[in-house]
Amino acid sequence: MELIKINSSPEKTLIEPVTEILESLSTIKISDDRKLFSYKSSKAATASLKKFEKYCVAIYSGFFIDKYLLNKDELKRNNSIKRAFPIIKNCTHNWKEVQNLFIYTALKYKKWFDPDNEPLKKDWLPRDIARWVYDEYCKKSVFMLCMVQDVESRYNRIADVNIQRLPDAVYLKALKIEEKLFESYDDKAINQYWFGVIRTYKMEKVYASRFHDDYMVMLWLEFGKDGKWTEKYLQWLPACWGEKTEQMLKPWHIGPKGKTWQYWIKSNADLKNYWNTMLEISESYYD
């Protein structure tokens, strides 16, 4: 569908290719069932939609990149945004490509609103479609950014950062258990497993600090040798519930918030007098 006159339409109407784009985008909803973009009608020529029309015409005409310049700091911070330039240029004089680009990018943008995905705070994400394409005040374009940037799971990001802080021996032991017991689970469940490992390692340090004067507890904690107690916990896991452990054990059962924890604390009969205190400490951290 090509347009002979590429100027924006009169003030009270929108050109047909733009209304078709808006109609396509109006069906996209975010996780709380609201529409991705806040406009109510794809044919109402509001100030926002007229501005959006102006951007669409600029993309179609081939001068969007040159006319709507990005803030230099934004380009430094998100250098990958430059990969959007040739993608936009490829839409020149082809309304179908312009429409496809908006649909493709909006479907990616939709995922940014998912509570499980980055960014953590969603209130800065524009739902005004014109400001999404280009913010004239800040000279930024979330549209261009999400065109080239894949959505990232919050759990992946947080887990990855914390996994890097684990001692090598703990990481390797945990990896073996993941491969042996949890290979068939999805990414979210695997992240729950790794969070359990990370919390166990943190509790090892908390216990070593709280019980540094208690010989029997410190003996079990390997006298504070970094990660050794967490390794023992991981080694204990595959048989923690006897012969049925492998079929019963789930990724979310691991660590201080999981079902295995009290069994692990109570697995050392010599520390019976400390069981309740140790469980209370872990509950105070991860209740």
Domain ranges within the chain, ordered by starting residue: 16-151, 156-286
- Vertex 146, ends 142 and 148: CA angle to 5°? 125
C-alpha torsion 256→259→264→265, nearest 10: 60
Distance CA 163, CA 184 (A): 20
Question: What amino acid is encoded at 178 in this protein?
Answer: E
Contact 238/177 with Cβ under 8 angstroms? yes
Q: What is the pLDDT of residues 74-130, one digit of tens each?
A: 888 888 899 999 999 999 999 999 999 999 999 999 999 988 777 767 888 999 999
In the chain, how long is the greatest CA-to-CA distance? 86
Decide if pLDDT at 244 tops 90: no
* Averaged pLDDT of the chain: 89
CB atoms within 10 A of CB 87: 15
Q: Return the pLDDT at 107.
A: 95
Reported pTM: 0.57
